[in-house]
Structure 1
Amino acid sequence: MKKTIQITIVLLFSSLAIFGQTKETKQADIYFENLSFVKAALEYKKLAEKKPTAYILKKLGDCYYNNVQMEEAADAYARLFTAFVDFDDEDYAFKYAQSLRAIGNFEESKFWMKKFNTVKKEDVRGQNFTEAKAILAEIRDNKPDYRVENLEKINTKYSDFGVTEYKNTILFSSPRDLNRFVKRTHTRNNRNFLDIFQVNKDDIKLKGSKKLFLKN
């Protein structure tokens, strides 16, 4: 009898894990499970326009959230919490708060982060946010002892990051288009794979000064 109860509990949790999946979401779910978030988002978006269930809106928001498309993620989560007022999932309250914060909606973000912290008091993510002494206005008013400058000759519309000094050069990674004959894109975000670029410190403001760190 005890073994039967244990099996029943396992089956119950298994069904809860996939609750919300339907025949209509099957293709989108496959894309999502394979981390092909761009394709998954397109499918969930179509479904959300027809029948925006809580499951579909959650997945749609997660596609954008996982690809750091925070404005789109915030919109999807807003639809989720607006359409389903009884929806109660603290993890999504956290994601919504983070999305709002990323697009500069600090007051609304604070509301949802406090809601998350009320439910999960032991979670350090909520603690760090609610106990933070720094106020945005104070940070903004402080005069920094440095100047931020956009290196327009190096920066592109792509994600250029991971800056490292190497001898008298600067190394950084970027998924920029190299006009290769064979295009290689990641299924997660449909962007090019990363390459490492190198630029001499003395030429950092010169156009065309960047080159691949290794040709192969």
Structure 2
Amino acid sequence: MSEQDQRVSAAIEGWDLASLGEGRVLPVVTAPAPVLSRPGPQVDPTAPEIVALAADLVATMRISPGCVGLAAPQVGVSAQLFALDVTTHPKTITTHGVFVLANAVIVEASRWRPGREGCMSVPDLTGDVKRAGRIVVTGELPGTGRKVTITTDAFEARALQHEIDHCDGLLFLDKVSGAHAIYQRKTYL
């Protein structure tokens, strides 16, 4: 077992990603799509359509280069549901592996610091956003509905906050301190 695998939280142990089934790859919507600026409703994490959407989010996230998280609004569905996987990102310190959370809420946040963010729904821009470097999040696991608490830090904390914002109808552009903190995304040939 790798060191990263050993850092998987006890809160998610026993949850099997395979229980979601095979997901479909969905198109990602971009700003200014209205679904991206509306808070999504809470969902029943055991409902078959939510379990299927969870699988779709994971499938879509996995085929998208550089993607570490994807929320339901980004595939055109107004709902409190997102997938996350920061395991291969170079800025990752703590990881809980691949997981999907429904109805996630931040219950503690500390160690605030700025950092650069990008988003598949805002493909041409990045921005500096101040986020908590340590958070505690509660949510429910699709399929089981089991409530979990995740304590994390660094890049995974930033990514969780970014995805929770999507579920609340916010983009990273809504969190930057001003136009001076928005940048054209670099493209490499």
Do these two structures clear the TM 0.5 threshold for a shared fold by scoring above it?
no
Determine which structure has greater relative contact order: mean sequence separation of CA pairs < 8 Å that are 6+ residues apart, divided by chain length. Answer: 2
Where is the helix percentage greater, Structure 1 or Structure 2?
Answer: 1
Where is the strand percentage greater, Structure 1 or Structure 2?
Answer: 2
Return the index of the structure with the highest Cα Rg. Answer: 1
TM-score scaled by length of structure 2: 0.28
